[in-house]
Amino acid sequence: MRNIITEEKEMILRSRILIRPYWTERLVDKLLGEPDHIHYRKDGKPYASFWFIDKVMEAEKDPVFLKKKYRHTEKDAKQDQALDSVSQKVKIAIRSDVLAVKIPRKGTIQEIFDKCRSQLEEHSVLLAILGIKTFYQYELIYTNNRDPELNIWCQLYKRIGKERRSLTFECGQMYVAKLYNINHKIADNCP
């Protein structure tokens, strides 16, 4: 029972109005007032309130609604800007950390990765910028992010692959496994 159509106009359910952007319970009560139609249970208690869609569309042009919408969009823009600036700092920190690591000339991919990781844990600009102490905390923050530039392990595998040409294919597999959190026979042994 999403919308009902009367002989006159189409109507919309209160819960559907609240799903629409920027609508709140308070705005519904303030701008729309009493419902245009109410459905009742068999015992006589109301259970669904409907308003004409035209009335809802008209209320969205009201100055009170527009003011609320403007405040939300302004707040969202500020949050996006703050997130962008943080992610830019994180990307720069990751680049500097990965470039500071010395890639060993010998060893398997697992041994090389472990040595690089221990170098990163000793001194990391990334951890200092984020204000955290371990890479475990970093992984909790950036696990679901699909941007490879925000994933330090992807960048480390990329660098190892460039430095050690014989391990390029394995590093590529690890890069993809880390980026998409895929279980991989080598990746299972890595942090």
The Cα 34–Cα 56 span in angstroms is 12
Beta strand 37-40 pairing with 46-52: antiparallel
What does the block give as tokens for 150?
A: 């925000």
Q: What is the pLDDT along the chain (191 residues), one digit of tens a residue?
A: 455 555 557 888 888 888 888 888 988 989 988 998 888 889 988 888 898 998 999 999 988 888 888 888 888 778 777 777 777 887 888 888 888 888 888 888 888 888 888 888 787 877 777 777 777 777 766 655 667 777 777 888 888 888 888 888 887 878 777 777 665 444 444 44
d(CA 2, CA 24): 18
Domain coordinates in residue numbering, the chain: 3-61, 68-189
- Look up the pTM and report it: 0.48
